[in-house]
């Protein structure tokens, strides 16, 4: 069995696309996913499955629609992929010192040159980012809410979702615990 992390895009944000995690958990268990755990209301799910990532993504997206009527994009990473993402973070020290100023954006595919141009547009000297395949690490020099870089992610389309670094680390801990149970 593989431990997966599902990152659901665009739910429970600003009172829109409301999805109850308890309902989603029950539905995911009903379709056969094992050791389903959710983390906070922003759409993070850790579970185990014998199926591949593509099929798991389809199952989670279909479950969301059945439970809420919402058509949501889900990005899937295995525990091993998440571990590689965490160990590859160029801002790990900043994350320990500053916590929420480091974020991870997960993409469904690597950025194109056109998307990179959109990401770079209007970036301030306070923000830094590093692209590694289908992951973008961001270090915000000010609040993420005031960052031009953070706003530029909305221009990349629906194949990206972002989590603060504390959430990323919590999901890793949950995945490790799920595997060892």
The pTM for the full model equals: 0.92
* Least confident piece of the model among 65-74, 93-102, 146-155: 93-102
pLDDT, average across residues 27-46: 93
pLDDT, average across residues 44-63: 96
Find where tokens 């603060």 sit.
164
pLDDT value for 47: 97
- Structural domains in the chain plus CATH codes: 2-80+170-180 (3.30.70.1280), 83-165 (3.30.70)
Closest CA to 85 of 148, 167, 8, 2: 167
For 120-172, what is each residue's pLDDT tens digit? 887 888 899 999 999 999 998 877 888 888 888 888 888 999 998 999 999 99
Query: Can you tell me the distance from the alpha carbon of 99 to that of 102, in angstroms, rounded to the nearest whole number?
Result: 7
pLDDT band at 173 (very low <50, low <70, confident <90, very high): very high
8 A C-beta contact, residue 60 and residue 8? yes
Find where tokens 């395949």 sit.
133
With residues binned 3-state (H G I as helix, E B as strand, rest as coil), the percentages for the chain, rounded to 5, are 45, 25, 30
């Amino acid at each position: 069995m593989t431990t997966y992390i599902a990152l659901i895009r665009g739910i429970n944000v600003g009172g829109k696309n409301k999805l109850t995690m308890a309902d989603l958990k029950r539905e995911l268990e009903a379709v056969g996913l094992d050791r389903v755990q959710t983390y906070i209301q922003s759409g993070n799910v850790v579970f185990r499955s014998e199926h591949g990532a593509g099929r798991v993504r389809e199952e989670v997206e279909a479950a969301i629609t059945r439970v809420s009527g919402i058509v949501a994009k889900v990005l899937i990473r295995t525990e091993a992929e998440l571990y590689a993402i965490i160990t590859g973070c160029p801002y790990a020290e900043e994350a320990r010192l500053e916590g929420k100023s480091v974020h991870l954006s997960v993409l469904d595919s690597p950025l194109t040159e056109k998307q990179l141009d959109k990401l770079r547009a209007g970036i301030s000297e306070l923000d830094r980012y590093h692209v590694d395949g289908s992951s973008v690490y961001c270090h915000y020099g000010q609040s993420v809410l005031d960052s031009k870089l953070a706003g530029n992610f909305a221009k990349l389309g629906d194949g990206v979702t972002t989590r603060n670094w504390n959430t990323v680390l919590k999901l890793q801990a949950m995945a490790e615990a799920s595997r060892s149970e």
